[in-house]
Amino acid sequence: MDPQQGDLHFGAGAARVSVPGLSQGRTLQMEADILGQNNRVARRNRAHFLAHGVTALNLVSSPGSGKTTLLCATIAALRQRAPQLHVAVIEGDQQTSFDADRIRATGAPAIQVNTGRGCHLDAPMVAEAFHRLHHHHHHHNDHGHDHDARSLLFIENVGNLVCPALWDLGEAAKVAILSVTEGEDKPLKYPDMFAAASLMVLNKTDLLPHLQFDVARCIAMARRVNPGIAVLQLSATTGEGLDAWLDWLLACQPDDLDAATPHVHGPGCGHPTHHHHG
């Protein structure tokens, strides 16, 4: 018997998704309406980030990939490497402030956004969170003249490899973080996310000796859905490969992107000097 016989694919229609009671055409129209409203706010976010010298990065991954651990290590490392760089974080989770509390413990400002039953951040949520962060920064800043200084805004999205791929937040780039504990087939199972990302970070490489994870196969799968995706390998726990990640971050300039074109990647946000660190 053909093992594929009887398999079902509800994403083969024009809308690439099935919604009970809705035709493909109606589903497409609703998606266009909702995303259209979101994208208008995303364009405003992008313009605000540009005006304030902010490079915003949208970190996307499955739950438990190590996003928050990587951010904590990154904040500490940037404090040594680029002490003048202001770093802030918007934390997205359905519930709790656990992750924001971990970020705040590093000394970096963080705003927790709880989405409730929502499975992703959207542009209006980020706009409100950025407003609060910006107000906090100016309130605590003794020197009013340094508002043009460069800053880095990490937006840690809700752990989910599906929904956040569709939603533009106004970021300069999406960074997909994939833990080596998850299996190398994730880029083909969740192609929209990896197609939308400028960079794939393979995290927890210190665990590779204990796993059956084929790094080369994973990278090849990612490049099947996104031939231009850059790849970095690192361990947030041991610090291995972290320097190349910092290089990539510091090469990201807020003006790499025209405010009107969210998915055109400049050299800083697309091509790290070292693609592979094992």
pLDDT in tens, 11-22: 999 999 999 999
The SS3 assignment for 12 reads coil
Distances (CA, A) of 45 to 56, 125, 163, 237: 10, 10, 20, 33
Residue 69 CA to residue 224 CA, distance in Å, equals 29
The whole-number pLDDT of residue 253 equals: 74
Give domain 24-140+149-251's CATH architecture. 3-Layer(aba) Sandwich (3.40)
Does position 201 have pLDDT exceeding 60, yes or no?
yes
For the chain, what is the mean pLDDT?
A: 89
Is the distance from CB of 151 to CB of 254 less than 8 angstroms? no
Residue 86 CA to residue 75 CA, distance in Å, equals 10
pLDDT in tens, 215-269: 999 999 999 999 999 999 999 999 999 999 999 999 987 655 443 333 334 445 6
The whole-number pLDDT of residue 149 equals: 73
Residue 168 CA to residue 122 CA, distance in Å, equals 7
For residue 171, name the pLDDT band (cuts at 50, 70, 90).
very high
Tell me which residue of 156, 213, 155 sits closest to 179, measured CA to CA: 213
For residue 205, name the pLDDT band (cuts at 50, 70, 90).
very high
- Mean pLDDT in residue range 46-72: 97
Residue 86 CA to residue 182 CA, distance in Å, equals 32
For residue 273, name the pLDDT band (cuts at 50, 70, 90).
very low
The whole-number pLDDT of residue 144 equals: 45
Does position 189 have pLDDT exceeding 50, yes or no?
yes
pLDDT in tens, 81-108: 999 999 999 999 999 999 999 999 999 9
User: Domain coordinates of the chain in residue numbers?
Assistant: 24-140+149-251
